[in-house]
Structure 1
């Protein structure tokens, strides 16, 4: 492909490069920094075809229908929110990010590009390609990246994650709670007298088409998702919807007063609890439609007005859990994606590649109803509870003994709240690290290694309502038999 020819006159601008995980205007440091300079600011988002390709091992779509729809809705909302501020959003699809910046350097004299920094190798590869384009096409242009996406700022940590990252979440949490503080939202805007600069003028030859249309899912090569009436809480992408959910859950329904926690297994019957038992904010956090610092700030404000409770402390702990994985990627690097994982957690383990077993797991046809219910919900809606994700992951790796990376990639494909660091981090920390001990439980091929399939089924779905909703084949059975249908078979045949 030939380089884009330089325009005779190029307007000087700064650029804000929005990505898949920072789709908002509140608490956005690159946005604030770009507008501190007295230049027009061009805001850009690219639907890079790379993110709509295939995963490395399982060849699953990297971005499935539910997340693609959420992403398109989020970018559309970002465009509207910028328009409300008299700004524009330049949207591109069908081109790589590097190609888009090659075109932009031909049309504008770009002084600086502002964006959030990356720690994962696929995102870093795209960032590196953009740097190369800027260096070749516009040598004076600086790509300035800043830290974001976490509750605690990288510069405020009491340790260097690249050399001294804590080995456990408990150690990590204790150290940051003791020695670090959370910066207030929007603190960057207070560093200078920031006023929004006007948007640049579109190039004369492309006045009507420059800003770009919003793509439909078929334009991205993604089928339109089919809604399932069994979904517990339908979500719409975008900062506006995310802020509405936070307001509704925290302040209107007082959801924090009955919060059970994503990773707190002490609350019984979690599968039967309503949509407000957890925040359900994860899709908006994953896409950066909500700032994690804003969520924290609102929880602290709630505590000040309504009193501190174990529920607010639990939610803050889970925001820190999110940081553990985000910052852990700095320490773990590409080992996060290798079969042995980081820290030698997968040493000595062997895995099988059985496409029939994999498809049965994916389709919720393993014969274990509690596993199958969560897998069917995941495939039909793009979401399932954290406890369900753990159970199906443990079952896949400890009982089916399938390559854990295939499971991580399937989650990557279908989850509407997919976050690379959290998804892969949970697979290595919760699943891979326990695989050896769990596999050892199975002293014989008929022994169930993932005992939570039965224990948690009884504890968290005692009436089997969740299981029966997603596995209608067992609707006619008692609660116990619905979770363990082999018992009914044995009684019928007097085995």
Structure 2
């Protein structure tokens, strides 16, 4: 008899209760063979939505590298990792039957598709889920979905005064009462994963595996103490330490949010607590809010009006002009330098600053009038820190279909506020030779929205 430990969204040794499952010296040994498993969802990486590929090659390669690194880390502990590829319900069920599994242990899902997979598995097997990637996990009184506020402010006021995040569990070490499938045994059960060999490539990206994620956290918080200026630097557009860059490892599950939170608290106690240390916790609470919102509303988040209107899952419809505008937006050739610079950064690196994301989203939705779901789908393809709740929740937020009224940004005002001398734009668009803030001048063929006019006048010192 076997117990499958499904490590999707939990590819780490630190703070991973899934690995400790079944290890309790105070209880009799259950004699179940522990089997570590990860299944790469074929549809999540190779299918399309609205005609847009679900994942870029870079995002696929990052995930394959993360799996390979985790497999090596487990092998050093003489633990094998079975790697599956395909439709998760079918692949996991087939493996469970082959290994005579009586139980499946997994991280509590957030996204609707993963929720559906776990529910389907629960109808066939005994399934236990542990909420190991949330601040408000199973060890705390989790929010009741029925009374969960739909406003972040209300959620924060409800939860923040009482928020006590559980300590991270120790880094996993094999326990005598646990019997794991070995690397040699596991390798015999991974034949379908070999289909992905052609896509494998070493990806040198911040936080692409557990070791790099923990090193980044240590450097950002302790060595550089960059956390002390987070609130003032977080609106910068590019660079190494302007932001934490914890989002990618948190999204892939190779960094524990509880461990991250506890490190911030430790820094506040040992070094200093200021607006910046609070603000990083504030952003982690935003992440938490969206996770619970997705558990509350499920598939509604993919509807045209998300959680604010009748369910409408029809494919977005664009005019011929809008199709071209959308393609130009994706490629970073809209003719609006501030937008193009941010999109080019996304396409090149798989990352974009929070300030950039808000502006390119607002431009697509409010200035071009294009369905927000297309932007969310393109971000899903490109972002190395793609997280279903944070991505789709934030896009719906800007569109006014989520947890707020619509948020429209004046792109020219934003450019002058956050790239005053045009350094970021020139770094991404070296062909632009205009001096200073004049580099933000849109190309002549752009239709200028009325709300840009007064700010464009500031570029040339002309009256509006």
Same fold? TM cut 0.5: yes
Match of 1:478 among 435, 443, 449: 435
Match of 1:156 among 115, 136, 140: 140
Q: How does 1:177-188 map to 2 (within 5 A)?
A: 177-186=160-169
Contact kept in structure 2, 1:14 and 1:113, CA below 8 Å: yes
3-state DSSP class of the match of 1:241? helix
Do residues 455 (structure 1) and 413 (structure 2) align? yes
Match of 2:35 among 42, 59, 63: 42
Counterpart Cα distance in 1 of 2:76 and 2:200: 31
3-state DSSP class of the match of 1:41? strand
3-state DSSP class of the match of 2:114? helix
Contact kept in structure 2, 1:35 and 1:196, CA below 8 Å: yes
Partner of 1:130: 121
Counterpart Cα distance in 1 of 2:317 and 2:121: 38
Contact kept in structure 2, 1:468 and 1:482, CA below 8 Å: yes
Match of 1:327 among 277, 281, 292: 292
Counterpart Cα distance in 2 of 1:207 and 1:311: 45
Partner of 1:29: 17
Counterpart Cα distance in 2 of 1:197 and 1:380: 44
Distance 1:98 1:71, change over 3 A: same
3-state DSSP class of the match of 1:275? coil
Provide Cα deviations, 1:244-280, integer angstroms capped at 9, x if missing partner: 1111211111121222368x65xxxx226x3112111
Contact kept in structure 1, 2:55 and 2:380, CA below 8 Å: yes
Match of 1:56 among 41, 49, 52: 49
Q: How does 1:157-236 map to 2 (within 5 A)?
A: 157=141, 159-160=143-144, 162-186=145-169, 195=176, 197-200=178-181, 209-211=188-190, 215=194, 219=198, 234-235=205-206
Instruction: Give the superposition deviation at 1:454.
Output: 0.8
Counterpart Cα distance in 2 of 1:385 and 1:77: 27
Contact kept in structure 2, 1:370 and 1:467, CA below 8 Å: yes
3-state DSSP class of the match of 1:405? helix
Do residues 89 (structure 1) and 63 (structure 2) align? no
Counterpart Cα distance in 2 of 1:256 and 1:207: 41
3-state DSSP class of the match of 1:410? helix
Distance 1:332 1:246, change over 3 A: same
RMSD: 3.3
Counterpart Cα distance in 2 of 1:112 and 1:436: 41
* TM-score, with length taken from structure 2: 0.85
Provide Cα deviations, 1:475-494, integer angstroms capped at 9, x if missing partner: x1012221014579x98xxx
Partner of 2:453: none
Match of 1:373 among 341, 355, 363: 341
3-state DSSP class of the match of 1:153? coil
3-state DSSP class of the match of 1:156? coil
Distance 1:436 1:118, change over 3 A: closer
Instruction: Give the superposition deviation at 1:79.
Output: 1.0
Instruction: Give the superposition deviation at 1:68.
Output: 1.1
Q: How many residues align?
A: 437
Counterpart Cα distance in 1 of 2:142 and 2:180: 40
Q: Which moved more, 1:421-430 or 1:99-108?
A: 99-108
Counterpart Cα distance in 2 of 1:179 and 1:345: 35
Do residues 109 (structure 1) and 100 (structure 2) align? yes
Instruction: Give the superposition deviation at 1:34.
Output: 3.8
3-state DSSP class of the match of 1:324? helix
Partner of 2:304: 339
